[in-house]
Amino acid sequence: MIDALVAVLVLVGSSFMCLAALGILRLPDLLTRMHATTKAATLGVSLIMLGVCLHFAVEAVVARGLAIILFIMMTAPVAAHVIGRAGYFVGTRLWSGTVRDELKPHYDPLNHHLLSGLEEDDGRPDTAASGTRATDDLPGHDAPDPDADRQKG
Amino acid sequence: MIGAAWHLLLGIAWVVLTGDFSGGNLVAGLVFSYLVLALIQPQVPALAGYAQRLPRLVRFVGFFAKELVMANFKVSYDIVTPPWYMKPGVIAMPLKARTEFEIAFVANLISLTPGTLSLDVSDDRRVLYIHAMFLDDEAALRDNLAELERRALALFR
């Protein structure tokens, strides 16, 4: 009974990872490829590790198996986010079937400010002072008005 | 946070006092200290709402696992069948999460659910830009994301 469950878990897990590999080959652009690799691979690894936990059923192995699942779940989305974000802002072309892009109009490639589109609500101009982004602004480039920057550049 | 620290401390105290240093005993200690915390919670203001978080956490894990598997099948189906059914696109999602930890947690959860990948947070941290693979039903997708965020934030607040 346990053996059958373990076999199912490992089989389903490895077929998800196979699908992830197939996805990298088949999908048309970088962002959709990131979808396939991170999620399917995460689920695949999790299922295989669950199978391992069930098969050995020893405390030390179960603890390590669950820790592996936890760390994969913590790191995989961060990696996907970083690669996807870098790819997007470097200017990778999106697939021709992409139906909309709400980010593009809010991003200023000259000073790397990303607006939220909600600034008008509270009447406060966005000065991007939160400091989350490693900007490579020139001294005169932190003006909130994107057009001013474009004229300078 | 204080509740979690007390929980761990009581659990370790149980292990030390019983003298049985095994994982199973630690789990037992954590169960007993959870009961203790749930009992004294009405008297201690710092612990308010701590015991209600465990059922919420269990339900959240169940909800998330269901989402993960369902959406994975959807993406897999699109990969193995020759025509593309997907309609990818980048959408802006207003964030209710405020602190850095909450935003990171929500963004990671969104990245983990197949079909959505968090791209970037706007400079004023009010909007999360998400690359979604299936935009054919955008209202349902937005509802789903809002639901995920609401449930995730309920774990910390």
- Residue B86 forms contact with A (CB below 8 Å): yes
What local confidence, expressed as pLDDT, does residue A7 receive?
Answer: 92
Q: Are residues A65 and A113 both part of a single domain? A: no
Among A92-101, A136-145, B148-157, name the one with the lowest average pLDDT.
A136-145
- Take residue A91 and report the two structure tokens written for it: 């200017």
Nearest to B91 among A39, A94, A102 (CB): A102
pLDDT of residue A11 exceeding 90: yes
Nearest to B122 among A59, A89, A114 (CB): A114
Interchain pair B133, A35: CB under 8 A: yes
Same domain assignment for residues A42 and A78: yes
Q: Which chain A residue is nearest to residue B129, measuring alpha carbons? A: A103
User: For the residues B42-52, what does the mean pLDDT come to?
Assistant: 74
Option in B23, B111, B119 nearest A63 (CB): B23
* Full residue range of the structural domain in which residue A21 is found: 2-90
* Domain match, A18 and A85 both: yes
- Smallest CA–CA distance from B116 into chain A, residue: A35
Same domain, A16 and A80: yes
Q: For residue A125, what pLDDT band results from cuts at 50, 70 and 90? A: very low
The DSSP element (H or E) to which A27 belongs, if any, is: none
pLDDT digits (tens, 9 = 90+) for B82-110: 777 777 888 888 888 778 888 888 888 88
- For chain B, the 3-state helix, strand and coil shares in percent, each to the nearest 5, are 65, 15, 25
Residue A121 CB coordination number (10 Å): 9
Q: Are A69 and A46 in contact (CB under 8 A)?
A: yes
In this complex, which of A97, A114, A129 lies closest to B87 when CB atoms are compared? A97
Percent pLDDT > 90 in chain A is 6
Q: Which of B26, B100, B124 to mutate to test the interface with A (most CBs of A within 10 A)?
A: B124
Q: Is the ipTM of this complex over 0.85?
A: no
Q: Decide if A31 is inside a domain.
A: yes
Query: What mean pLDDT is predicted for residues B129-153?
Result: 82
What is the predicted pLDDT for the residue at A8?
92
B-chain residue closest to A104, CA distance = B90
Average pLDDT over residues B118-140: 81
Quick check: is A84 in a domain?
Answer: yes
Task: State both tokens at A142.
Answer: 């932190």
Do A72 and A16 share a domain, yes or no? Answer: yes
What is the DSSP pairing of strand B89-94 with strand B127-132? antiparallel
pLDDT on residue A153? 36
Nearest-by-Cβ selection for A19 from B79, B91, B108? B79
A9 assigned to some structural domain: yes
A76 and A117 co-located in one domain: no
User: What Å distances lie between residue B43 and A109, B8, B69, CA to CA?
Assistant: 55, 20, 41
- Give mean pLDDT, residues B17-46: 82
How many structural domains comprise chain A? 2
Residue A51 in domain:
yes
pTM over 0.95: no
Q: Helices in chain A by DSSP H: which ranges? A: 2-26, 30-35, 41-56, 59-90, 119-122, 146-152
**Where is pLDDT greater, at A136 or A20?**
A20
> Does the structure show a pLDDT above 70 at A133?
no
Q: What is the pLDDT of residue A138?
A: 38
Cross-chain Cβ contact B79/A76 below 8 Å: no
- Whether residue A80 is found in the same domain as residue A112: no
Q: Does the distance separating the beta carbons of B94 and A43 come in below 8 Å?
A: no
CB atoms closer than 10 angstroms to residue B39: 10
Assess whether A72 and A119 both reside in one domain: no
In this predicted structure, the answer to whether residue A123 has a pLDDT above a threshold of 50 is: no
Q: Tell me whether residue A68 is in a domain.
A: yes
Q: What is the mean pLDDT of residues A143-151?
A: 43
A81–B72: do the CB atoms touch at under 8 Å? no
Q: Which domains are present in chain B?
A: 2-47 (no CATH), 62-154 (3.30.310)
Q: What is the pLDDT of residues A22-42, one digit of tens each?
A: 888 888 888 888 888 888 888
Instruction: Tell me, yes or no, whether A42 and A113 share the same domain.
Output: no
Shared domain check, A77 and A118 = no
Q: A98 and B79 in contact by Cβ < 8 A?
A: no
In a domain, A81, yes or no: yes
A128, part of any domain? no
> Do A81 and A108 fall within a single domain?
no
User: Residue A121: its pLDDT value, please?
Assistant: 55
Q: How confident is the model at residue B23 (pLDDT cuts 50, 70, 90)?
A: confident
A116 with A64, same domain: the answer is no
Q: What pLDDT is stored for residue A128 in this prediction?
A: 43
The CA distance from B138 to the nearest CA of chain A, in Å, is 11
Residue numbers in B near A130 (CB within 8 A): 123-125
